[in-house]
Structures are given as structure tokens and as C-alpha cells.
Amino acid sequence: MNAASDRKPAIEPGDANLYFNREFSLMEFNRRVLAMAADESVPLLERLRFLTISCSNMDEFFEIRVSGVKQQAAAGVEVSGPDEVRPLDMLARIHETSRGIVAEQYRVFNDVLIPKLADSGIRILRRTEWTEEQAAWAADYFRREVQPLLTPIGLDPSHPFPNVLNKILNFVVLMEGPDAFSRDSGISIVQAPRLLPRVIRMPREVSAGAFDFVLLSAVIHHNIGELFPRMNVKGAYQFRVTRNSDLFVDEEEVEDLAEALRFELPRRHYGAAVRLEVAENCPPEIANMLLDHFHLGQEDLYQVNGPVNLNRLMKLHELADRPDLKYPPFQPGVPKELAAGTDMFDVLRQRDVLLHHPYQSFGPVLDFIRKAANDPNVVAIMGTLYRTGVVSEVTEALFDAARAGKEVTACVELRARFDEAANIDLATRLQNAGAQVVYGVVGYKTHSKIMLLIRREDGRLKRYVHLGTGNYHTGTARGYTDISLLTANEEICTDIHKLFRELTSPGETPGMKQIYHSPFTLNDMVIRRINEQAELARAGKPSRIRAKMNSLSDPGVIKALYLASIAGVPIDLVIRGVCCLRPGVPGVSEMIRVRSIIGRFLEHSRVYSFGPNDEFVYAASADWMQRNLHRRVETCFPILDPALRARVVEECLDIPLADNVQAWLLQPDGTWERCIPGDSDRLAAQETLAARLGSTGGAA
């Protein structure tokens, strides 16, 4: 027995103090994203992009997470997680931390990015900076493009407060003087049109450079008096409301999930308010009036020093054609065995193919799916679709296959958050093309990323499979790190075929030989592998656990990891976002190290490795979260080929764990400390992999 196995933990592994709160951890992740906006080593326009991402993250955090906590508090829930934090206490800390994050967002925007952009010839001109010619141009733009779309609503007994859409820019306008009907309400609400661009390039004839921009909010504000002729506008103040955007549909009660969601979607714009943002100069009496109307308290008020919708500045990254201020262009590589002219099926009959996106192209995956339509020997295709994008090469290939008479079965997950409308449209179009469409299993979101082709070869049917850790979305495949496995392995293909039958028809699926899937076998496998390493450590034998994923919050997995740490198992985790595990606690988790990598690409791949020599290596669609392990349909697949297993270990674990440039280390108190490289040992995982696997590097 080793010394670690004899230690008595100072804290029991189930103690609430050993679990970080999920919401607090999510806010800390957003701090790390925001830190990239202040990082001088990041290209300037990319820093602006990181700022807007942090703002979008905050929006979704309030729309989904904070709204949920508010509902728990209203229902009198005492505790809702293993950390045992009361919802009311959670809300207080959420608001305190969020105010600090918002203050930092606007500090970086006003004091850092705006001046640096101006120094680089990109100006966002405030109203107070406009010349007479620029003000005249803005007035003309307002009259031509904006004013016809505005409908001010004066507040009086016959004009109640208008319905204010979620996250839309609005103005509350104070006026004096009677109007044409001798009304003197004094207050109007003006909602900015959703279809107009929020960032507008000034024409060259009135600008000092090629990259002078104004915000729509400034154009409206400067000319708002035009909306109220013969009245005196005393003030105009921006505001924006964030609403609960989680959809509720009782899947066990509805007869048609698509129709129920189609009916529910419009309500997302008018859910219960959870946050009010107002301009910093908004008078207290106006802010209080808005709070009262939206049934919010003072704790829900956020006064900001600048535009209330900073996330809309994302468009500036595209409008400013300045390659010198962006990440250099990157061309994904293609494995040598899939070079142009090779027959993919010939290759897959001989060996598995592994792709590491975005360093390697998503093109081979598209080619694999296109075979369904173009290859006369392909007779059927089955696939799960979670997020594909509004216009998708993947879905177009499925349409073509269905129209060509192939047997196409698509499991479309309608409950992919914020993609519901696109997925309903996708499902309808696939059905109209002749495909069989199902929506998964009632009560379980289908999050698996799998595609199965059936091909007639030499008088028999042969199956080929694609398994991935990411979505069938060509856009995210260029910006998210993910693993794709293309294989003709008979056992894996048989397992995936069984899984599709499980998704489409009733009955119990016989046991699978290679694939683990939620909600049935994946959780048990993970716990079993962790416990096996703990047993090795207790016996004095070498052991190790390493894993990479988006989030870690499942209490059962965390407790198993604590017990493994107590036994002496070295554990290294690469967790991009939420981590509820507390590392470095003496006697409990001192063998566990957790890091997060924030860089050009969004770390999205899920890889688990168990054993001192990486004896068991898996890739999966699932994080170690309760929802993924217990309430979703997820797929976890082994990397069987020794050479590919070595690649996955090196590219997804070894190199990220050596990163000392873009990595952050989780401390026992829940804070994150950024790694600082020495003078000669600098290693940035994403840069290393891009150089190795991109079109200018090796494409093994």
C-alpha cells in the first residue's frame, strides 16, 4: 500500500465545501474570456471580438442561468446543488460578481480598445466628436433609413408601456410641451429597429479615414428630437432588457413537439425580465420607473458607461478590413491518406481516419456525407443533427440523398438552445424531401454526433460511420477544436446502427461492444475506469487519469475523482468552462490539477484517458455533467488504432497540459491564475497544433 492510500481525508469527499457552485464557475470562465480583450499579445480586432464574446456570454448567462436561479428562489428552494448554496445567496453573489465583470468590460472598451483602435486608424466616433459635416450626414441617414421605421409610444392611459423585446436597444425620452392633441405625458419609449445595422461606416467624403464608424444608437440619440416636432426633448436614455429565454414544453403532454415549439418560440422575446441595463446618465427616477414596470429590483439594475449593447460591435471585426489587426489566415490541413483523388471507402476498409478540427479540414466529413447522394452504391444514411447552421452543406447533402431515392433517416434535435427555429425548418425541409425524421426520445435531448452510411459492396451491405465530439456545422468546425473519427470497424458500426434503432423505435437495445452511451452505460463506464485507477494506486501500482472537456459538474464523477486522488492517482484535467471540482485540497484533491485554455479557437473536444500508459482512450460528445451523463443521448467511442490513440493523447492531452501561454490554473479558492512562460520554454498549444496539422505543417 502506498502512503496516499493510508491517509484519512480531512474532509469527506461528499462535503459541500468541496464543490464549486456552477454559476460562480461560469462567471469565472467569462472573466477569462474578458482577459483576452485586455491581452496585448492578442491582435487588436481580435481583442474587440473577445470583448463582444464576453458580453454575449453575459447575455446568455442571464437569459438561461440567472433566470433559472430566480425561479428557484421564487419557489422557495433551499438548496439546488452539491455546493448547498441557497438560490437567494446565489443571486446576491451573481449580481456582485457580474457588476465587476461589466465594469471591466466597459473599462477595457473605453480606456483601452477605443484609443488603440483610433491609433490604428479605426474610429468609433461619439456624437460629441462629430464635425458639422458628419452631423449633417447622420441627420440625413436618420431621415432616410431610420426615422421611417421608428414608432415612438407616448405613455398615457391610452398608450400603455409597449412590449419591449428581449435584448433590443430602446430609448426612454423625456419631453415637455403639449402635442397636437394637447397631451402632455412627458415620456415616450422608442425601440430601435431590429433590421438596421448597429455599426455604420461613415462615407469617405465626411470621414477622416477609411475606417470611421458610428453606432446606430448615436444616430438615433442625436436626432431623436425629429420624432417629436414642436416639443422640447429634455433627455433620452438608452435601456435594454434581458428576459428569460428558456423554452418550456412538456414533451410528455404534447402530440407534436415541433408544433409545440413553433408555438412557444415567439414567447422567448417576452419572457420574464431578469436584468435591466441603462445608460450611466439615466436619472434615478427613470431607472426606478423602468424597474417597476419590468418587476425588477435595484439588484437587477446595471448602469453602463457606453452603449448598452456592446456585443453588437462584433460586426466591426468584419467591417474593418485590416488583416494586420486580426489573427493571420489559417488553412486547415488534410490527412495524406485522404488526398484528392483517393477513394475514401478504400481507405476506411484498411484503416480508421482521425481528424483534429479546426487544425485539419472538415472537408473529409462533408465528402463522407456527400457520398449518400453521389455514390450509387450508397443505399442509406442515418444521422443526428443538433446544430448545423441555417445554410449547411451537411443538410444539403442529406436533401440530395433523399431526393435521389436513398433511405435517409435524420434524428433532428429540436431542443438545441437558440437553434430551435432553424432545426424546425430543417426537419420540415427534410420531410418534404422524403427523409424519415424523428426528434429523438421524449425527455432526453439527443446530443450525439454520429452519421452512418450503408453501402452495397460485392453483393453485401457494408457500414461506415462518422463519430464526432462537435456539431455538423461547417462554421464551428473552423473555430472549435473537435475530434472526428471515420471508421468501418464492424463492432463500432454495429453499435451505432443499434443506437439509431434505439432513437427511432421502441424496444430494448442489445448490449453494445465498443460504444458507451448516455443515459445508459457512459456514466457507469467513467466511474468504473476512475475506480480501476484508484484500485491500482491502492495496490501500489502506477495509475493515471487525464481528461479534456468543456465542463465538469457531475457530483458522482467528482466524488469518484476525489476518492481516486485520496488513493494517490495523479489526475490532470483540461476544462474550458465550468469546473465544480475543487483541486488542491490537502488530503482530498491534492493529486488533481485543473487547467483551462482560452485562445483563438474554442476548446470543444472531449477526450478521456485512463491508465499510466493511456491504456483506455475515448472521445465523446459528452462533458462530465449531470445533464450529459443522465438526461441526454450521448456517444462515447474508443480510439482503437494505436497510432491514432497516440495522436489523440499527444494532441488533446500532452500538448494542452504543457501549454504555458494560454492556460489558466484553477486554485483551491476558485480563482484562476494564468500561466506565465519563461524566456525559453514558451508553448502555446493551439499555435503548436496549427503549425503541425495545418496546410503548411504535417498532415499525418
Query: For 536-546, b where at least 16 C-beta lie within 10 A, e where not — what string?
Result: bbbeeeebbbb
334 pLDDT higher than 90:
yes
Amino acid 236: pLDDT = 96
420 pLDDT higher than 80:
no
More confident residue, 387 or 229: 229
CATH of the domain at 560: 3.30.870.10
150 domain-assigned: no
Residues 6+ apart with CB under 8 A from 42: 36, 50
575 domain-assigned: yes
One domain for residues 556 and 503: no
One domain for residues 391 and 489: yes
What is the largest distance, in Å, between two alpha-carbon atoms of the chain? 91
Range of the domain at 9: 3-18+518-693
One domain for residues 490 and 524: no
Mean pLDDT of 318-332: 95
Each residue's pLDDT tens digit, 388-419:
766 688 888 888 998 888 999 988 877 656 56
332 pLDDT higher than 90:
yes
Instruction: Band the pLDDT of 182: cuts 50, 70, 90.
Output: low
Amino acid 247: pLDDT = 47
Mean pLDDT of 652-673: 97
Mean pLDDT of 302-325: 95
One domain for residues 480 and 558: no
Q: Read off the C-alpha cell for 202.
A: 461613415
Mean pLDDT of 132-152: 96
Amino acid 310: pLDDT = 93
Give 610's Cβ-side CA count (13 Å radius).
Answer: 19
Q: Tell me the C-alpha distance between 574 and 545, whole Å.
A: 11
Q: Read off the C-alpha cell for 321.
A: 478590413
One domain for residues 623 and 567: yes
Mean pLDDT score across all residues of the chain: 90
Q: Catalytic one among 447, 473, 517, 604?
A: 447
One domain for residues 457 and 572: no
Instruction: Band the pLDDT of 608: cuts 50, 70, 90.
Output: very high
More confident residue, 680 or 32: 32
Each residue's pLDDT tens digit, 119-135:
999 999 999 999 999 99
Range with lowest mean pLDDT among 176-185, 215-224, 341-350, 364-373:
176-185
Q: Tell me the C-alpha distance between 505 and 441, whole Å.
A: 9
Cell 482560452 found at: 598
DSSP string, 645-692: HHHHHIIIIIHHHH--SSEEEE-TTS-EEE----SS----HHHHHHHH
More confident residue, 654 or 444: 654
Amino acid 254: pLDDT = 42
Amino acid 299: pLDDT = 96
Q: Tell me the C-alpha distance between 209 and 178, whole Å.
A: 43
Helical H segments across 186-313, by residue range: 216-222, 257-264, 284-293
Known catalytic membership, residue 447: yes
Number of domains in the chain: 2
pTM: predicted TM-score of the whole model, two decimal places:
0.91
Amino acid 679: pLDDT = 67
Amino acid 269: pLDDT = 54
Mean pLDDT of 452-457: 96
Domain endpoint, select from 511, 537, 559: 511
